[in-house]
Amino acid sequence: MRRRAILNAASIVFLQKGYEKASLSEILTLSGGSRATIYQLFGSKDGLLEAMLVECCQAVLAPLSADAVRSRPPGEVLREMAVRSVDVLLSPANLALTRVVLAEGRKFPHLTQVFHEQGFVEGNRMLGAYLADISRDGAYYIPDPERYARIFFSMAWGDAMFRLAAEMPDPPTREEVLGDVEVAVRIFLEGIRGDVGLPAAAPRETRSFPSV
């Protein structure tokens, strides 16, 4: 109960003030409790925001647990995962949280690293494990499962995520995003059919983009 109250209060303060300007005193004014409780539960202000990010990511990834997807058809799993991602990541509260992380990323790069690793990397790993499993009998051709998972997510909602996180004018509606998800699922399933016989994907280059 106390943990939930602190997280809820931290969400309000972080979204109003940004990470750098937010203070533990403001959070405690809303949640009650003491600094000792925050230190015991989260360790620091960093730990508070990291806990919020992990919670957001876990809400997206819950349907991808091995037990949840075992023996289910690919179209159903892909569609559910993409729709779940849309509903969680693109909700107003989580979009605002994403904007906080992106805005503070240069000063606090560990925050973007946590968000990326707990959300995107873990999501690719979990979906990749499922894709590897369904490719074993030859019905689907998926030579690099985690890479294919990353590409699927980018197809499904990458454009919408960018437009909404960047607060661009005329943002996509949920219906538009779900339409993109449906197209992505169909294209992806057609592309991984075992009888297509595509060559293995070339390894990714390790060069970095030039810094700015």
100 and 23 co-located in one domain: no
36 and 61 co-located in one domain: no
* Percent share of the chain, pLDDT over 90: 26
**Which pTM was predicted?**
0.79
How many domains is the chain partitioned into structurally? 2
204 inside domain: no
Q: pLDDT tens, 64-85? A: 677 777 778 899 999 988 888 8
Provide the Cα torsion 129, 181, 155, 187; round to 10°: 80
Q: pLDDT tens, 170-203? A: 888 889 989 999 999 999 999 998 755 445 555 5
State which residues form the domain around 1.
1-43
79 and 164 co-located in one domain: yes
- DSSP per residue, 7-43: HHHHHHHHHHH-TTT--HHHHHHHH-S-HHHHHHHTS
106 inside domain: yes
208 inside domain: no
Checking 86-94 for CB contacts under 8 A at 24+ apart, the result is 86/156, 86/157, 86/160, 86/174, 86/177, 86/178, 86/181, 88/56, 88/59, 88/60, 89/56, 89/60, 89/119, 89/157, 89/161, 90/157, 90/160, 90/161, 90/164, 90/174, 90/177, 93/11, 93/15, 94/56
- Looking at residue 200, what is its pLDDT? 53
96 and 159 co-located in one domain: yes
